Structure 1
């Protein structure tokens, strides 16, 4: 549900603001809440500001459960559908069927809680053992109870959810009595069933129970396979990330070595340029000295000729 304030023209989507707020990690929640409340108040949305300011900071486990819902929408949707299938199946299962589905349910919850811990760790927040247990409790509650499923689906948990001791029936039944399919309206006034009719109804209940069990098993297996695929994909992604980091580190080392070599080459070039300049200066000085000597020699010869010396 979205609630938009009618003031201020285009309106203020307080639900979107609250969604953003509950995506904030608990250590930053209060500061972010005050910023968003102040922004709503400044924009003239006093009621929205009050609602934002009243938002409770989630525990780390509740935030992680919200993070799972937002980070894995498809998987979360299938998990909610699995809970619906399990709750329906538990109405008519015998002890053996309940035991089988319970084992599958524990495996799925355990795998999904580990995935939640990995998501939280990647977001910079490691879950303690207690927080991990709270996540598992929340996921069990989502499977077992429709109200808990609705709360989690809203994405704004503030504390862990507690599952019921047993799966509740989807429709109220008398204490201790097995649930029965509703009688068609035209049969309510019919006389008590005969022995054959009772056998037919029993066979029909067993058939429906088997169909529900089959659907629940398929849903559980599909969820388990999906989790395995997700874990495989995540493992592959982690391996590729490590390889990329290694390549990046090697490239950085090569760049650093190249930069050092470049710096050394620049220093060598600088010294060579200085030596070249000095050599040019010495050559210029030598050329000038040679020119002076040649001039002086010519002047000396001329002076000898002038004075009438030998060779004149």
Structure 2
């Protein structure tokens, strides 16, 4: 039973604050603090003190962390496949031999590189280019997502505050010539009566390992194929953007030339109107002079006629 004077909790409030935090972590770092304070003030004004404290406690992400969050939110399907690939890789690394690890490591490096380029492109389109160090932090974060389940869960939440670091014991492409560090030592030879059973168990383990390797390879190939498609789409979008910018620049030049011609035409029109007014004034002056001359001529003719009349 709720105490008197205590407002009951609203189920929708938690959902509202989660959406608010998602929006906040999609905000570029340069605008993060001002947007955070605005959202916290709105929550406090609405009587949601707990939400306001949560919002106010949000920490501004680094540029690399924001780019990784942006990648997750902008490409949800590719991000989901990447997370699935990480799960398959972590499972496969527990049982694979050195050759299998090397193959998957090479695919992992290619996919991480492609995704980091895509994150940099998204950040640039949002008006915030990534430096070389920031791109390295994005790659480090993506490698951590593949290698560590906790890192994958943190990235999947879409609210990273800083770059993630992959665990040191996760095999790298340069360390695949040896067996995984956590491989169990080979047991001593079994007694003759237990060898058939051991062979069956070994065959079963190898079969499961090959299944895991197959799933990991399929996941990696699907992710790599999708990334190639996205890269091609990005290149097409870049080319379209360049063409649009060229057309925009030409149109701007045409507009400037048209405006200059219009300005000149208006000046010419003003000069013509001025000349027309002056000509009209001269015409009125000339007409007045003609009218006066005609009157003088009539008066002179009348005077001549009067003087030529006979005197009586």
Matches within 5 A, 1:39-50: 39-50=42-53
Q: Over residues 9-34 of structure 1, what are the superposed CA-to-partner deviations in whole Å (9 max), with x where a residue is unaligned? A: 97471111111111122232222211
Instruction: Using structure 2 for the length normalisation, give the TM-score.
Output: 0.84
Give unmatched runs, 5+ long, in structure 2: 1-6, 172-181, 186-192
Matches within 5 A, 1:139-218: 139-167=142-170, 176-177=183-184, 195-218=195-218
Q: Distance in 1 between matches of 2:28 and 2:146?
A: 25
Q: Distance in 2 between matches of 1:287 and 1:116?
A: 82
- Cα 1:98–1:265, aligned 2, differ >3 Å: closer, same or farther? same
- Cα 1:215–1:8, aligned 2, differ >3 Å: closer, same or farther? closer
Q: Distance in 2 between matches of 1:157 and 1:238?
A: 28
Deviates more, 1:278-287 or 1:202-211: 202-211
For residue 123 of structure 1, report the CA deviation from its aligned partner: 2.2
For residue 237 of structure 1, report the CA deviation from its aligned partner: 0.9
Matched residue, 2:66: 63
Matches within 5 A, 1:228-307: 228-307=228-307
Q: Distance in 2 between matches of 1:10 and 1:219?
A: 37
Q: Distance in 1 between matches of 2:230 and 2:301?
A: 103
1:101 aligns with 2:108: no
Q: Distance in 2 between matches of 1:48 and 1:15?
A: 9
| Higher relative contact order, chain-length normalized (CA < 8 Å, sep 6+) | 2
Q: Distance in 2 between matches of 1:9 and 1:21?
A: 21
Q: Over residues 276-295 of structure 1, what are the superposed CA-to-partner deviations in whole Å (9 max), with x where a residue is unaligned? A: 22112212222222222122
CA RMSD after TM alignment: 2.5
Deviates more, 1:6-15 or 1:133-142: 6-15
Q: Distance in 2 between matches of 1:249 and 1:111?
A: 32
Give unmatched runs, 5+ long, in structure 1: 169-174, 179-192
Matched residue, 2:121: 118
1:52 aligns with 2:55: yes
Q: Distance in 2 between matches of 1:8 and 1:288?
A: 93
Instruction: Using structure 1 for the length normalisation, give the TM-score.
Output: 0.84
- Cα 1:6–1:72, aligned 2, differ >3 Å: closer, same or farther? farther
For residue 239 of structure 1, report the CA deviation from its aligned partner: 1.3
- Cα 1:239–1:139, aligned 2, differ >3 Å: closer, same or farther? same
For residue 155 of structure 1, report the CA deviation from its aligned partner: 0.4
- Cα 1:21–1:6, aligned 2, differ >3 Å: closer, same or farther? farther
How many residue pairs get aligned? The number is 287
Q: Distance in 1 between matches of 2:258 and 2:132?
A: 47
